[in-house]
């Protein structure tokens, strides 16, 4: 099989519709791939049916199509990948690398997000328990193409983290690492809200002997009150009939050049122009951009 030197992806979660912040992420990952003749794959991260909004998957795909963001190959659904995740978790469990945690929600709250390993040596059975992976007392660091060096001490900043939830659903951190490697992803371009997930992902890659992709974490588009422009804040879904002006606006958010003529161009023409002019070095080196500051 030939292995292209760049394979990127967009990996939306169907817990809501695409909003302007998702467009910025989709556009940046698309342009970064296409500018070097790379592939751009699509993966639906439908790991959490209870949080899924009915019709969101189709709406996301239709919205991307109306913005002319065409992906390569077949769409992958994480809901179809449980066997691959189960194999890894079962192996880690039998090796003692992962263990069952029966701590209640109330107990966990007292730990303020850093699990101190209470159940590490308790020998709980895996049924009706969360499965946590043991983390080493080590710092994991990487150089992000936009955000620079980012480091986290897994022991003191994160603690043993969940790879399979008590309800049997698999965790994002696990699925993303397995699937990025399975799809041959070389470059991950996504929002800076996932910057502090990356050290956990580097650790899982190391455990699984997987290659480490390059990372580019984009500034998040925030609302005036500082909230992430995300589904949980009910930001408006992207309109499908204003693709050209919104693509141009997303280009500005990414620090890319634009041209007056673009406003009369089709979405496909805007993308063609943007591929030619793409320069990732122009992306603002910040974690947040206020949406109100964008023209
Ligand atoms: N599914 C995640 C989200 O929608 C993105 C995961 C990733 O890009 O690694 O926030
Ligand atoms: Zn526990």
**Distance from the alpha carbon of residue 97 to the mean position of ligand 2, in angstroms:** 15
Residue 11 Cβ inside 6 Å of ligand 1? The answer reads yes
Q: Name the residue with tokens 């983390």.
A: 135
Distance CA 218, CA 134 (A): 29
1 domain residue, yes or no: no
Ligand nearest to the CA of 193: 1
Domain with residue 32: its CATH number is 3.40.50.620
Sign of CA dihedral 49, 55, 61, 63: negative
Contact 183 CB / ligand 1 (< 6 Å): no
Tokens standing for 172? 């994002």
Q: Relative to the CA of 15, which ligand 1 atom is closest?
A: 4
- How many separate helices (H) and strands (E) can be counted in the chain? 8, 12
Of 8, 13, 21, the residue with max ligand 1 atoms within 8 A of its CB, to mutate for a pocket test, comes to 13
> Are both 123 and 200 inside the same structural domain?
no
Domain count, the chain: 2
More confident position, 234 or 162: 162
- The answer to whether 77 and 47 have CB atoms below 8 angstroms apart is no
pLDDT tens per residue, range 71-88: 999 999 999 999 999 999
Q: Which atom of ligand 1 is nearest to the CA of 190?
A: 8
Token output for 229:
């422009």
Per-residue pLDDT for 116 more than 90? yes
Residue 119 lies in a domain: yes
Q: Determine if ligand 1 sits within 6 Å of the CB of residue 189.
A: no
| Per-chain residues with Cβ under 5 A from ion ligand 2 | 101, 103, 118-119
Residues 142-184 pLDDT 10s = 999 999 999 999 999 999 999 999 999 999 999 999 999 999 9
Pick the last residue of a domain from 127, 150, 172: 172
Q: Phi and psi for 132 in degrees, rounded to 5?
A: -115, 145
Which of 117, 142, 172 terminates a domain? The answer is 172
Does 95 share its domain with 73?
A: no
Q: Is residue 188 located within the same domain as residue 268?
A: yes
Between β-strands 288-290 and 161-164, what pairing exists: parallel, antiparallel or unpaired? unpaired
Centre of ligand 1 to C-alpha 216, Å, is 13
Q: Are residues 89 and 127 in the same domain?
A: yes
Residue 222: band (very low, low, confident or very high) from pLDDT cuts 50, 70, 90 = confident
CB of 231 closer than 6 A to ligand 1? no
Closest ligand, as measured to the CA of 18? 1
The verdict on residue 177 lying in a domain is no
The predicted-structure confidence for 11-26, as pLDDT tens digits, reads as follows: 999 999 999 999 999 9
Q: Rounded to an integer, what distance in angstroms lies between the CA atom of residue 266 and that of residue 233?
A: 30
Distance between CA atoms of residues 292 and 229, nearest Å: 11
Identify whether 277 is part of a domain.
yes
Q: What ligand is nearest to the CA atom of residue 119?
A: 2
Residues 73 and 105 in one domain: no
Are 164 and 174 in contact by the 8 Å Cβ rule? The answer is: yes
pLDDT computed for residue 1 by the predictor: 41
Could you tell me if residue 179 is inside a domain?
A: no
DSSP 259: -
Whether residue 61 is predicted with pLDDT greater than 90 in this model: the reply is yes
Alpha helices in the chain (DSSP H): 20-34, 56-66, 82-95, 105-109, 172-182, 198-208, 243-253, 267-277
To the nearest whole number, what is the mean pLDDT of the chain?
94
**The last residue of a domain, from among 137, 172, 207:** 172
Structural domain contains residue 191? yes
Q: Give the structural domain span for 206.
A: 7-79+184-294
Kind of pairing between the strands at 187-191 and 214-218: parallel
Specify the pLDDT at position 2.
46
Please tell me whether the overall predicted TM-score, pTM, comes out greater than 0.85 for this model. Answer: yes
Q: Which residue has the tokens 């929600």?
A: 105
Q: How far is CA 3 from CA 47, 149, 201, 212, in A?
A: 28, 28, 23, 15
pLDDT for 132 = 98
Q: Based on the fold, state whether residues 220 and 159 are members of the same structural domain.
A: no
Domain match, 166 and 92 both: yes
Largest CA distance in the chain: 66
- Pairwise pLDDT comparison (144 vs 293), residue with the higher score: 144
| 188 and 276 together in one domain | yes
Coil vs helix vs strand at 73:
coil
User: Residue 231 pLDDT more than 70?
Assistant: no
HSE (side-chain half, CA atoms, 13 Å) at 201: 23
- Residues near 104 by Cβ (< 8 Å), separated by ≥ 6? none
Sorting pLDDT into bands at 50, 70 and 90, what band is 236?
confident
Q: Do 225 and 285 sit in the same domain of this protein?
A: yes
Joined together, the tokens standing for residue 279 give 């320069």
Residue 233 pLDDT > 60, yes or no? Answer: no
Residue in the block written with tokens 């309109």? 239
Residue 3 has pLDDT above 60, yes or no: no
């Amino acid at each position: 099989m030939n292995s292209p030197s760049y394979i990127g992806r967009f990996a939306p979660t169907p817990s809501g519709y695409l909003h302007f912040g998702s467009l910025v992420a989709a556009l940046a990952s698309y342009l970064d791939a296409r500018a070097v003749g790379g592939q751009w794959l699509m993966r639906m991260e439908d790991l959490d049916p209870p949080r899924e909004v009915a019709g969101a998957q189709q709406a996301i795909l239709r919205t991307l199509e109306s913005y002319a963001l065409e992906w390569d190959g077949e769409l992958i659904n994480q809901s179809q990948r449980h066997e691959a995740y189960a194999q890894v978790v079962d192996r880690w469990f039998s090796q003692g690398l992962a263990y069952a945690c029966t701590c209640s929600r109330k107990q966990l709250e007292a730990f303020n997000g850093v699990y101190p390993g209470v159940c590490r040596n308790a020998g709980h059975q895996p049924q009706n328990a969360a499965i946590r992976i043991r983390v080493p007392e080590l710092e994991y660091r990487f150089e992000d193409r936009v955000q620079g060096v980012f480091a986290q001490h897994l022991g003191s900043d994160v603690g043993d983290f969940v790879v399979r939830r008590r309800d049997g659903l698999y965790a994002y951190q696990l699925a993303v690492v397995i699937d990025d490697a399975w799809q041959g992803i070389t470059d991950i371009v996504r929002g800076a809200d996932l910057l502090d997930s990356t050290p956990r992902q580097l650790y899982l890659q190391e455990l699984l002997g997987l290659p480490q992709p390059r990372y580019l974490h984009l500034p998040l588009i925030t609302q005036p009150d500082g909230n992430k422009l995300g589904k949980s804040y009910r930001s408006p879904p992207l309109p499908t009939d204003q693709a050209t002006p919104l693509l141009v606006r997303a280009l500005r958010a990414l620090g890319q050049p634009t041209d007056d003529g673009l406003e009369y161009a089709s979405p496909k023409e805007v993308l063609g122009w943007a591929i030619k002019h793409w320069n990732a070095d122009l992306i603002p080196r910040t974690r947040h951009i206020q949406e109100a500051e964008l023209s």
